[in-house]
Chains A and B, each alone.
Chain A
Amino acid sequence: MLISFKRIIFWGSQGFLRNSGASFAVTIVMSVVVFLITFLFFLRGYATLALESLQDQLALTIYFKQETSEEEILRAKREIETLAIVEKTRPVFQKEALDIFVKRYEKNPLILQALAAVGNNPFLAHLDIKAKTTQDYIKIKEFIEKSSFASIISHINYSELNPVIEKVGNISKAIGGFTIFLIIIFGIISFLVAYNTTKLLIYYLGEEIAVMRLVGASNLFIRGPLIVQNLISAFLAVIFALSLAAILIFVFSPKLEALVPGLDIKVYFLNHFWQIMILNIFTALFLAIFSSFLAIRKYLTI
């Protein structure tokens, strides 16, 4: 058995080198599939992160009446936090609201002069509420309207927030649909590429397999070297595809970051490197073994 194993490995490696043209072609088509899978992984990850970043900027804000005390606001905060659908809350008291405004317009003396003309602090204390999902904002709003502290509320920004929530929902649906569409397209492309890899193998192996069979070679001796040959192609395909992905990511990273600020695709790549590597290896292994089996199945019946 050991001698057979040694021969299979040797024949596979020898076949890879001697049929360099076919080996190169098989490696290229495998690289294309592995790269497409990597691209899809990134696309899915990028879309999810972009959406999360958008959702992260959404918050329901309740404004309290002028005379509301900090203690009443904190009591309202505690009551809201009893809801499981609330992710977090952040109270902004009148003084802080004024400070934020002043800081924002410190380089605009006209606005600051207008503020000074008002005399007192015109800003209302408010509570920013982040829900776990965008669908939860309406429930939180309804809860607040019926709550014990409804009387101290000046207004809620839901009417301004709602169109934004709808937009984010639509974008989310569009991204989801687009991702499924791409998965289908790439799936078809991958299948066609794998199928043609097989055809390529059949083209240059058909006659040889028939001869091997007639000389008395068992299935192990016919399949084995081809699988080894394809595994070498698969190994190279993973290296090619990963290198290409890394180059593209480092080149296009600044442009992608401009689209979704705060989202660094390089960091995403490095954080998910092993995940991508394993996905690539499994794709390449599947392709190598699937195409080998399919390619010679026909000839093994002789």
Chain B
Amino acid sequence: MIRFQGVSKIYSSNNIALQDVSFEIKEKEFVSITGRSGSGKTTLIRLLLAEEKPTSGRVFFRNQDVHKIKKNKLPFFRRNFGIVFQDYKLLEGKTVFENVAFALEVLGATDEEIRKNVPQVLEIVDMKDKAQNFPKELSGGEKQRVALARALVHRPALILADEPTGNLDPYHTWDIVRLLLKIHELGTTVVLATHDREIINFLQKRVITLEKGKIIKDEEKGRFIL
């Protein structure tokens, strides 16, 4: 599904984000990418989303070189993903319902489909009661559940979660981890970037460990080694 082929991202001679990174992720896998802050986790995700171009190497999604996609086609390409960020990135001017519905609206879903699917997804993340609230009225954990609902609602092939628990307390952290596992069980590929030792060790799934922009370990049922 995803293939990084000798990818390097060099901002300057003393700022090398990724160095000759190669790996593959198969459909329906749950992969954690871990490493210290600045190890290159976020750069890896940004390269996959074609937010940035690699200095060298190629990134493929379903055998398509993502950096050869034309600019005007990028929004359509990104609809393959459901993205969850550490800082939630919700649209502050829209309610919980509207934030989730937005991902469907841009796809051209009908009002009927939206009325049917959005409450279902809000039910999964346990946010149905707060559908009419604005993001500023929610806690961090609630915001992240809304972000997850938005990432899920259009049934993407892949969920990309970049430090989704970074701003959350332990209770809400496990809430999100359980939701990610549930999404994976339902058949969605999940890529989770995190430096949380407990989460990595709890998951017992594949772990790719980065250090200073290089892959130092890639193992099935991996553990946090840093």
Contact = CB atoms under 8 A, between A and B. Distances in A.
B92 A208 contact: yes
A232 to B, nearest CB: 15
Contacts of B51: 214, 302
17 contacts: A3-B111, A15-B93, A208-B91, A212-B102, A212-B106, A213-B74, A213-B78, A214-B49, A214-B51, A215-B106, A215-B150, A216-B76, A216-B78, A217-B106, A218-B72, A218-B106, A221-B106
Given A3-B110, A4-B108, A302-B51, A218 B91 contact: no
Interface in B64-106: 71-72, 74-76, 78-79, 81, 83, 89-93, 102-103, 105-106
Given A219-B72, A221-B106, A214 B78 contact: yes
A301 interface: yes
A18 interface: yes
Contacts of A213: 74-75, 78
A19 interface: yes
Interface string A1-12: 001100100000
Given A3-B108, A7-B105, A302-B51, A218 B90 contact: no
Contacts of A215: 78, 83, 102-103, 106, 150
Interface in A133-149: none
Interface in B198-216: none
Interface SS majority for chain A:
helix
B110 A214 contact: no
B83 A301 contact: no
A216 B108 contact: no
A25 interface: no
A14 B90 CA distance: 17
A211 interface: yes
Contact of B75 (A7, A211, A218): A218
A213 B102 CA distance: 12
Contacts of A14: 93
Given A3-B110, A211-B90, A218-B75, 9 more contacts: A3-B108, A207-B89, A211-B89, A212-B91, A212-B102, A214-B83, A215-B78, A216-B81, A219-B72
Contacts of B49: 214
Contact of B106 (A15, A216, A302): A216
Contacts of A301: 71
Contacts of B90: 211
A14 B102 CA distance: 14
A68 B96 CA distance: 98
A149 B107 CA distance: 90
Contacts of B102: 212, 215, 217
A60 to B, nearest CB: 70
A214 B88 CA distance: 12
A15 B94 CA distance: 9
A214 B89 contact: yes
A216 B103 contact: yes
A299 to B, nearest CB: 12
Contacts of B92: 208
Given A301-B71, A302-B51, A216 B107 contact: yes
Contacts of A219: 72, 75
Nearest to A4: B108
Nearest to A300: B71
A218 B110 CA distance: 17
A4 B108 CA distance: 7
Contacts of A208: 91-93
